[in-house]
Each structure stands twice: as structure tokens, then as C-alpha cells.
Homo-oligomer: A and B are copies of this chain.
Amino acid sequence: MEEHKHDHDKETEMIAIMSRSGMRITDQRRTLARIFSDTDAFLSPKDVYDLMRDKYPGVSFDTVYRNLRMLSEMGALEQFYFMEGGLKFKGSCISHHHHHLICLNCEKTLSFEYCPMDQQLKLPGSFKIVSHRFEVYGICDECQQTGEG
């Protein structure tokens, strides 16, 4: 059930972000960019570590963590905390604002354009709105078919 619709633009963009932020482009980071441009799913640090080791048997867990954190901080990755699965990462879609459908089974994501904040929400009190979060969870086509949901 591996995803391999490699998104070359995303890979290039990720490396560009690193460069722009003054990071050095190491082979590990190149591999990270490759991993995240190869999938739309959320990956745990362990997932990433395992994928990295395919190419770099000697890679260390802390380097994976360090890089995941740095890439998140500079916006190349999105973080998400799954109540059951802990913290996971996916390549971020910097290009435009949108929200996600998230498959509870395979954790792949599908983005969509509708944003609730575009409505005239009348919210109580007078909060100064800073950000919002809207996600829809379910079982994707594929997982429904393979009965894995």
C-alpha cells in the first residue's frame, strides 16, 4: 500500500525552503525531502526513521528528530498530533490555504477548498482570532475497498 506519486515540485520546494533558511543541504535532508514528496500521508518519527534507514543504515534517531523539528519550524512540514498515534508529520502545502480529509486508517490526506472561516461566523465574546483548524476524519476510498477501515 505504498504511495509513489512522487511530487517533484514539492521536493524542489522543500529543498529551496531549507536553502533559503540557511540550512545546509545534506544527503539526509535530501532524503527527507524525497520521502515527504513521495506521500500525502502523515508519518511518525519512527516511520521516517525507518524510511531513512533504507538509504542510510547508519542514520540516528536524534538526527531525524532534529530535522523534522527544524523543517516544521521553517514551514516545510506540517505537524499533527493524533490522539492515538502521537505526533506525525507531512509535507506542507504552502501554496494556498485549505483543509484536509484525513483517513483514520492509512492517515493519508486529501485536501479541499472549503473553509468555514469564509462564512460570516458570529462568534461569542470578542476574541481576537489568530488561527483556526478544521479537519474531517474518515475512511478513504482505498481503505474502504480493502476493508481495512
A58 at the interface (CB under 8 A from B): no
A136 touching B141, Cβ below 8 Å: no
Which of B112, B122, B128, B140 is close to A138, meaning CB atoms less than 8 Å apart?
B128
Minimum Cβ distance to chain B for residue A102 (Å)? 9
Question: Which residue in chain B gives the minimum CB-CB distance to A144?
Answer: B128
Which of B83, B116, B119, B139 is close to A128, meaning CB atoms less than 8 Å apart?
B139
Question: Which residue in chain B gives the minimum CB-CB distance to A82?
Answer: B81
* Complex Cα gap A4–B136 (Å): 34
Given contact pairs A132-B134, A133-B134, A136-B132, A126 touches B114 in the complex (Cβ within 8 A) = no
- Which residues does chain B contribute within 8 Å of A117, judged by CB atoms? 136
A104 touching B130, Cβ below 8 Å: yes
A137 touching B131, Cβ below 8 Å: yes
A37 at the interface (CB under 8 A from B): no
Show the binding face of A for B, using Cβ within 8 Å. 79, 81, 83, 101, 103-104, 110-112, 114, 116-117, 119, 121-141, 144, 149
A-B pairs, top 5 by smallest CB distance, nearest first, are: A116-B116, A127-B138, A81-B81, A129-B138, A128-B139
A-B contact pairs, 15 of them (CB 8 A): A101-B123, A101-B124, A101-B125, A101-B127, A112-B123, A112-B124, A114-B121, A117-B136, A125-B140, A127-B140, A127-B141, A128-B138, A132-B137, A133-B135, A134-B135
